[in-house]
A and B are shown apart, each in its own frame.
Chain A
Amino acid sequence: MISEFLSYSIVPLLSALAIPFLGRKNEKITEILANVTILAGLINIGYILFNPSNHRNQYSTFTQDGFTLLMIFTIYLVAMCVVFFSTRMNDRKIDKNSYYPLIMLSVSAMCSMVMARDFFTLYIFMEALAVTSFALITTDDGRGGIEGALKYFLLTFPASALIIIGLALLMIVSGGFSFEHIQAQIIGAPDFLTFLALSLILLGFLIKSGMVPFHFWTPDAYQGSYSPVSAYLAGIVTKISGVYAIIRLSMFFKLFDDKAYKASEMLLLIGFASIAWGAIAAMRQKDFKRMLAFSSISQLGYILMGAGTFTTLGIIAAIFHLFNHATFKTTLFLNSASLEKNAGTTDMKKLGGMEHNMPVTSWTSIIALFSTAGVPPLSGFWSKIMIIIALWMTGSEFYAAAALIFSIVTLAYFMIMQKKIFFGKANPEFAHVKEVDFTLLSPVLLMSAIIIAAGVFFPYVYDYLANTIATRMVI
């Protein structure tokens, strides 16, 4: 663990412990405490990342891994949007004294996970995160969320078993789990057993992250759970619990050089299958949230393909796409939450003509969907083109071209969505629906601003990625 940043996981943990006691009489205190905790963390990490002097010095003063810092920032950013949105949404059905502590706990678990410097710690916190996720999915009981949670629960056992076996093997071969140990082991004597151990761990995380063909729990979980929770799960939780570890592992596979080409091929294949299957399935969905869930699977495919190249460019592209995915998917899920709050449904067959009722929601979802489809100059375009270039440079021209062409399918299903929900013929049943108030819009406006800014100021983002991650890969 990186001890100097420990406060990012300890403060929310303390907050989670304090909330049930302090907020027992007055739920307002619960909400204020949750918001303040996350906001303080966000400002703190934001100050570290965006301090202009860091950019002037080419980030040479950074002693820590830029990947970890960027992930902490993303975790706090998404958590802030979700927590703020939930407080303003003010749903009576939710037990606030268990909901907010759960969010705090999962923030704490995620931060610990990304700060871990060895695979064992990482695994422990991943399990802790999984437990809080089950609880969060079932916050809004009586819906399909329980089915998703159960499916996830059943899938995690084989995944955990694989990871544990891999860890045990790693212990036998190299005598430790820490990143330094493994790195030294691979550089010193890249043997088959280390490779096997890492592959088993990788397979476990592939199952956990919901890639095709292990994807069937995600649509149920996202569609069935309380809307801000879907945003939280899709935006960050499932990405940290699965994809973060995969990118981290790919940094080690990169050290094997050409010997890992089979693993690379496998990742590219799974990545492409996820892109294709997710995109095609998304076209057939009738429910906005379910469509977003499939879109999420499809976008994960791009991240996996970037990481699966095992090249520096591919890995930083995957990290950038992970960040972008957090921004645009959170925006879209929060918009679906706004729709559910004010129109009462996310069923695309019933909705129509909402752009007059909810103009801001309509425009922010346009920005987010164009970024997802990789339309320049939004942030999603740059990360996607970096992934494509990385694929091309490793000689996978076919995958590069096919992944690019699947952007048109992404655009197509979002066009269907936009047409049915926002443009189409107005349903008189929803004529009274008003835009949600400004405080509910502020998280999506913030996210949209980040999507545009990360695209327009791409050179700065690239500098950060190149100087803090690419040049000091692994440790």
Chain B
Amino acid sequence: MEPTSLLKTAVFLPLLGAFLIPVSNLMSKEIRNSFSVILGVMTFLSTALLIPVMLNNPGFSIGARFPLGFDLILTADMLSVFMAAISSFVSMIILIYSVDYISHYENQTEYYTMVVLFLGSMMGLVFSSNLIWMYTFWELTGFASWRLVGFFRSEKDVLKANKTILVTIFGALCMLIGILMIYFENGSLDMRVLRGDTVSMLPAVLILVGILAKSATLPFSTWLPDAGVAPATVTSLLHAAVLVKIGIYAYARIFGVTLVAPESFSQGVTLLAGLSALVSAGAAFVETDIKRIIAYSTVSQLAFIFLGLASGNKVAFAGGLLYILMHSMAKGGLFLCAGIIEQKTRVKDITKMGGLFRTMPITAVSFALCSLSVMGIPPFGGFFSKFLVFKGAVESGNLLVLVIFLVGAVMTLLYLTRLFYLVFLGNAKENAPLEGSPAMVASVAFLAIAGIALGLAIYYPFDYVTVISTQLGVNLQ
């Protein structure tokens, strides 16, 4: 296929296909489920096929004209393809896992529609190189996540869903003001034109508010644990592995490869990220709800990615990008394991679990492998990304920030060990549950193995992100 048609497929297939899911439901449930999974697989394939194209192509754009400089421009370059491939891969695994997991709940059609719509708007966001369209798809993902968080519709769930959308849309509106300021100051919204321009402090901070709200970093971090706990695990996964990455991606796209922000801005971001890493790691320590712990762990790990992207040198930037990849795989795996455990034991409180290793060996091993990757133990993929982020941060040399993050990394190690010990080791409780269904267990095992495989074959992804940071990065040392 032509690269341009691959790009069109990746964005418009899930975006438009989502609205055909309710139609396919009229035929039969099986057709609807397989149609949704096929949409996910096709999206992933088209983004994956773009990777080899990007290796010897500086990037290309397609677009439609809109008035007032609001043109819809989709650009495939190394960064967008990288991000699109990761998020569509994780979404594909989620869709496969969902077929079993979601099969005994209500509102399934809406669920599939929203997951695929979410995937489509994620693709649109990643590929669009016009700020106003980035904002548009940003809001669409917010809409899809609103419906997904409120999936169970109890009073509490709907309240948390409303909290999620109000926090993220408040952030998005601040971001829109920032975008408009750029529109009037720099005269364009096209990021290809804006590349290399400087941006003043106020619009940068306003855009940052939107990014922090979406990626659940301090001071907007509270909605993620809330949202991640109420509904199905799969939804939590969307949040931990894909939704929050939107903020990270927007940061990399806007401040990493397009606009040059003031020096003090990046320093502020690293400091804020450091605080976020510490506070949420502390919260993960004291929580007893398995999904809240993993959600807080996400907030804490996201801070490491921010550190990498904001440090202002190539090594750290490459490390931050690599971190996105490794964290998506590992955190996706952890959440899906938690989903299996919750479905089988019907409790979320880790103090009431124990000894699950004997009855759920595959889940336990997958959980352990994913945890090791998040902790950053060699030879797992997570080690290399964390190492690169620290190496880059040392070079840019802010000692305080570095110490904060080292403490954060040690705490990660501790709370994940505690979690694993309480859930899988220790004394078995009565009537211990059996392993989950084959498709679900296979999904988590696959993600866990992908974590090691990426660590062992680190050369290829490392090479790729290094090229991104040298070719696309602006104002990096």
Do A419 and B180 have beta carbons less than 8 Å apart? no
- Nearest to B155 among chain A residues (CB) is A425
Partner of B67, one of A355, A408, A425, A462: A462
User: Smallest CB–CB gap between B388 and chain A, Å?
Assistant: 36
B159 at the interface (CB under 8 A from A): yes
Which residues of B have CB within 8 Å of A428?
none
Are A388 and B166 within 8 A (Cβ)? Answer: no
Check B180 against A375 for contact (C-beta < 8 Å). no
A392 vs chain B, min Cβ distance (A): 6
* B68 contacts A386, C-beta separation under 8 Å: yes
Do B66 and A415 touch across chains, with their CB atoms under 8 A apart? no
Chain A stretch 144-162: residues in CB contact (< 8 A) with chain B: none
Within 8 A of B (CB), among A231-249: none
Partner of A411, one of B132, B158, B165, B184: B165
Q: Are B139 and A392 in contact (CB under 8 A)?
A: no
The complex places the Cα of A194 from the Cα of B153 at a distance, in Å, of 59
Nearest chain A CB to B220's CB is how many angstroms away? 14
In the complex, the chain A residue whose C-beta lies closest to that of B171 is: A408
Give Cα A463 to B64, complex, Å: 14
Please state if A375 and B173 are interface contacts (CB–CB under 8 Å): no
Min CB gap A384→B, angstroms: 10
CA of A400 to CA of B180 in the docked complex: distance in angstroms? 10
Docked Cα-Cα span, A248 to B66, in Å, equals 27
Asked if A423 contacts B150 (CB within 8 A), the reply is yes
Is B346 on the interface with A (CB-CB < 8 A)? no
Size class of the contact patch on chain A = 20 to 34
> In angstroms, how far is the closest chain A Cβ from the Cβ of B6?
23
**When A and B form their complex, what is the total count of cross-chain residue pairs whose Cβ atoms lie within 8 Å?**
69
State whether A458 touches B66 (Cβ < 8 A): yes
Which size bracket describes the interface of B in this complex?
Answer: 20 to 34
Contact status of A405 and B136, CB under 8 A, knowing A389-B180, A424-B155, A424-B158:
no
How far apart are the CA atoms of A216 and B169 in the complex, in Å? 31
Q: Are B162 and A419 in contact (CB under 8 A)?
A: yes
Q: Which residues of B contact A412 (CB under 8 A)?
A: 166
List, in ascending order, chain B residues with CB within 8 A of A404's CB.
173, 176-177
Interface bits B124-159 vs A (CB < 8 Å: 1, else 0): 000000001001100110010000001001110011
Question: Is B135 a contact of A408 with CB atoms below 8 Å?
Answer: no
Report the separation of the CA atoms of residues A408 and B170 in the bound assembly, to the nearest whole angstrom.
Answer: 6
Interface string of A338-363 (1 = CB under 8 A from B): 00000000000000010100000000
Is B65's CB within 8 Å of the partner chain A? yes
Does A466 sit at the interface, judged by CB under 8 A? yes
**Is A459 on the interface with B (CB-CB < 8 A)?**
yes
A405 to B169, CA, bound (A): 10
Q: Whole-angstrom distance between the alpha carbons of A404 and B159 in the complex?
A: 24
Q: List residues of B (278-319) whose CB comes within 8 Å of A's CBs.
A: none
Say yes or no for A376: interface residue by CB 8 A criterion.
Answer: yes
Q: A194 to B178, alpha carbons, bound, how many Å? A: 41
* Residue A401, interface by CB 8 Å: yes
CA distance A408 to B132 in the complex (A): 18
Residues of A within 8 A of B159 (CB): 419
**A365-407 near B? 1/0 per residue, CB < 8 Å:** 0000010000111000100011011001100000011001101
Neighbouring B residues of A459 by C-beta, 8 Å: 64-67
Name the one of B153, B165, B180 contacting A392, with C-beta atoms under 8 angstroms.
B180
Q: Helix, strand, loop or mixed for chain B's interface?
A: helix
With known contacts A405-B173, A408-B170, A411-B166, A423–B67 Cβ distance under 8 A: no
How far in angstroms is the closest Cβ of chain B from A82? 28
A466 to B66, CA, bound (A): 13
User: In the assembly, what is the distance between CA of A466 and CA of B154, in Å?
Assistant: 47
**How far does the alpha carbon of A370 sit from the alpha carbon of B65 in the complex, in Å?**
24
Contacts A392-B180, A415-B162 given; does A408 touch B66 at CB 8 Å: no
User: Which parts of B62-116 form the interface with A (CB within 8 Å)?
Assistant: 64-68, 70
Task: Give the distance in Å from the alpha carbon of A263 to the alpha carbon of B66 in the complex.
Answer: 33
> Which of the residues A408, A423, A462, A463 comes within 8 Å of B153, measured between beta carbons?
A423
Using an 8 Å CB-CB cutoff, how does the interface string of A80-94 with B read, 1 for contact, 0 for none?
000000000000000
Encoded as 1 (CB less than 8 Å from any B CB) or 0, chain A from 433 to 475 comes to: 0000000000000000000000000110011001000000000
Closest beta carbon of chain A to B437's beta carbon, Å: 28
Residue of A whose beta carbon sits closest to that of B162 = A415
Which chain B residues border A423 with CB–CB below 8 Å? 150, 153, 158
CA A32 – CA B61 in complex, angstroms? 53
Distance from A469 Cβ to chain B, minimum over Cβ atoms (Å): 14
Minimum C-beta distance from B72 to chain A (A): 9
Contacts A386-B68, A389-B180 hold; do A370 and B143 have CB atoms under 8 A apart? Answer: yes
Known: A389-B68, A423-B150, A425-B155. A376 touches B140 (CB 8 A): yes
- Once A376-B140, A400-B180, A415-B165 are accepted as A-B contacts, the answer to whether A408 and B173 lie under 8 Å apart by CB is yes
In the complex formed, the residue of A with least CB distance to B157 is A423
A458 to B67, CA, bound (A): 8
Known: A386-B68, A458-B66. A411 touches B136 (CB 8 A): no
How near does chain A come to B157, taking the closest CB pair, in angstroms? 9
* Residue in B154, B159, B162 with the greatest tally of chain A CB atoms within 10 Å: B162
Is A466 a contact of B67 with CB atoms below 8 Å?
yes
Q: Give the CA-CA distance A331 to B159 in the complex, in Å.
A: 25
Please provide the chain B residues from 173 to 205 with a CB less than 8 Å away from any CB of chain A in the complex.
Answer: 173-174, 176-177, 180, 183-184
Closest chain B CB from A168 CB (angstroms): 42
B66 touches A375 (CB 8 A): no
Query: Which residues between 2 and 60 of chain B lie within 8 Å of chain A, taking CB atoms?
Result: none
- Contact among B136, B150, B173 with A377 in the assembled complex (CB-CB below 8 Å): B136
Which one of B64, B68, B132 has the greatest number of beta carbons of chain A within 10 Å?
Answer: B68
Given contacts A392-B180, A404-B173, A462-B67, contact A376 B136 (CB under 8 A): yes
Of B143, B165, B174, B176, most buried by chain A (CB within 10 Å of CB) is: B176
B161 to chain A, nearest CB (A): 8
6 extra A-B contacts, CB within 8 A, seeds A392-B180, A405-B173, A459-B64: A375-B169, A381-B136, A386-B68, A405-B174, A415-B166, A419-B162
Nearest 7 pairs of A and B residues by beta carbon: A376-B136, A462-B67, A415-B162, A423-B158, A419-B158, A408-B170, A375-B139
Offer 14 A-B interface pairs, CB within 8 angstroms, sorted by A. Answer: A376-B132, A389-B180, A389-B183, A400-B177, A407-B169, A408-B166, A408-B169, A411-B165, A411-B166, A411-B169, A419-B159, A458-B67, A462-B67, A463-B67
List residues of A whose CB falls within 8 A of some B CB.
353, 355, 370, 375-377, 381, 385-386, 388-389, 392-393, 400-401, 404-405, 407-408, 411-412, 415-416, 419, 423-425, 458-459, 462-463, 466
